[in-house]
């Protein structure tokens, strides 16, 4: 990776800020970033990350690559226009972070191919914000193999597990299914924990530690379960909030409906998360679903 390479990075949210930090520290490239908030830009300045005046400035900073991790859907709508091969600016699809739905990626990608978009790919990320800070966040890549290999060194700066899933939209679909399964597992663990606490039949900590030794063990149990559900700790900063998981579940259900499927368990999980948001936990880590269960 040549030191003359310029990378534009837009959106420094829960995942975007640590990813941009790793990109600046490991890529050897000049990184120009934008976010409507000053705090993450101030935090990244000591690493040499330059502040763009707007998303358009970050996009047009002469960058050879453009990595986007939009913080919110309304932020994504403010993103700069891509250009067609003939140079004409157009509003096009952008690879968004946890706001990206596969249902929107595929039709936008089809329009993009029809209009000769260059370089668009969706590369959603997974795992926790803590993982993003350490660097082992996971990325699912969707686009041509040639573009994948071209950008892989930059993706590797932000994550250790990168999977090429196929055409545009495939990466977003995998991300949505991942988040759907994780959310459903969180609800299952919350229900088990609620029973333990309400009935007094078993100590909650003993329950979770025993589950971790058996067939119910999982990444979700050891992270969402042990670190948030068990201590009843559901932060409002630096974690995936209830509002975000509701949006991802909505995308997942919509994708299933397009295929003629009815996802009953996903719909139930979404309803429980909506109740959690309505109870005042919209901005809290979605493990707060345990609190609405115990109140019923």
pLDDT of residue 71: 46
Indicate the pLDDT class of residue 119, thresholds 50, 70 and 90: low
Share of the chain above pLDDT 70, in %: 71
Distance CA 165, CA 57 (A): 31
Under 8 Å between Cβ of 127 and 97: no
H or E segment and range at residue 130: helix 129-134
By the 8 A CB rule, do 30 and 54 touch?
no
- pLDDT tens string 179-228: 999 999 999 999 999 999 999 999 999 999 999 999 999 999 999 999 99
**What is the average pLDDT across 76-86?**
38
Residue 81: band (very low, low, confident or very high) from pLDDT cuts 50, 70, 90: very low
Residue 85 vs residues 89, 106, 115, 116, 145: alpha-carbon distances, Å: 9, 20, 8, 6, 20
3-state secondary structure string across 131-193: HHHHCCEEEEEECCHHHHHHHHHHHHHHEEEEEEEECCCHHHHHHHHHHHHHHHHHHHHHHHH
- Tell me what the mean pLDDT of segment 264-285 comes to: 98
The more confidently predicted of residues 18 and 229 is 229
Q: How confident is the model at residue 67 (pLDDT cuts 50, 70, 90)?
A: low
Per residue in 125-145, pLDDT (tens digit) is 776 555 545 544 555 555 567
Reduce the DSSP state of residue 273 to 3 states and report it: helix
Q: What is the mean pLDDT of residues 250-259?
A: 97
As given in the structure block, the two tokens for residue 117 are: 């978009």
| Position 111 pLDDT exceeds 90 | no
pTM value surpassing 0.75: no
Q: What is the pLDDT of residue 159?
A: 80
Domain spans in the chain, listed from the N-terminal domain onward: 6-77+93-168, 174-295
Q: Using the predicted structure, report yes or no on whether residue 152 has a pLDDT greater than 60.
A: yes
Q: Does the pLDDT of residue 47 top 90, yes or no?
A: yes
The predicted structure's pLDDT at residue 50: 94
Q: Which pLDDT score is estimated for 127?
A: 60
What does the buried/exposed string (b/e) look like for 30-59 if buried means 16 or more CB atoms within 10 Å of the residue's CB?
A: bbbbbbeeeebbeebeeeebbebeebbbbb
146, pLDDT greater than 90: no
Q: What is the CATH number of domain 6-77+93-168?
A: 3.40.50.720
* Top-level class of domain 174-295: mainly alpha
**Average pLDDT, rounded, for the chain:** 79
User: Which band of pLDDT confidence, cut at 50, 70 and 90, is reported for residue 151?
Assistant: confident
Phi-psi category of 120—alpha, beta or left, where left has phi over 0 and alpha has psi -120 to 50? beta
Q: Of 213, 191, 223, 193, which Cα lies nearest the Cα of 205? A: 193
- pLDDT surpasses 70 at 284: yes
* Distance separating alpha carbons of residues 176 and 198, to the nearest angstrom: 32
Give the least confident one: 56-70, 195-209, 263-277: 56-70
User: If you average pLDDT over residues 158-184, what whole number do you get?
Assistant: 88
């Amino acid at each position: 990776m040549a030191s003359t390479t310029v990378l534009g990075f837009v959106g420094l949210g829960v995942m975007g800020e640590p990813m941009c930090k790793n990109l600046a520290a490991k890529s050897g490239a000049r990184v120009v970033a934008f976010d409507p908030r000053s705090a993450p830009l101030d935090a990244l300045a000591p690493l040499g990350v330059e502040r763009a005046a707007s998303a358009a400035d970050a996009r047009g900073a002469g960058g050879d690559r453009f990595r986007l991790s939009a913080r919110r859907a309304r932020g994504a709508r403010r993103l700069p226009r891509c250009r067609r091969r003939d140079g004409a600016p157009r509003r096009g699809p952008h690879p968004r972070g946890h706001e990206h739905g596969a249902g929107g990626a595929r039709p936008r990608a089809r329009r993009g191919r029809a209009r000769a978009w260059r370089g668009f790919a969706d590369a959603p990320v997974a795992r926790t914000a803590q993982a993003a800070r350490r660097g082992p966040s996971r990325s699912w890549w969707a686009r041509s193999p040639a573009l994948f290999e071209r950008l892989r060194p930059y993706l590797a700066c932000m994550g250790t597990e990168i999977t090429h899933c196929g055409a545009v939209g495939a990466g977003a679909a995998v991300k949505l299914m991942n988040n759907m399964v994780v959310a459903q597992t969180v609800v299952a663990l919350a229900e088990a924990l609620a029973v333990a606490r309400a009935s007094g039949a078993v100590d909650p900590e003993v329950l979770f530690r025993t589950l971790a030794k058996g067939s119910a063990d999982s990444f979700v149990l050891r992270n969402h379960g042990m670190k948030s559900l068990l201590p009843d700790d559901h932060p409002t900063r630096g974690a995936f909030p209830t509002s975000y998981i509701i949006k991802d579940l909505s995308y997942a259900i919509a994708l299933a409906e397009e295929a003629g499927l009815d996802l009953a368990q996903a719909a139930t999980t979404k309803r429980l998360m909506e109740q959690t948001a309505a109870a005042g936990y919209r901005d809290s880590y979605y493990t707060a679903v345990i609190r609405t269960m115990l109140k019923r």
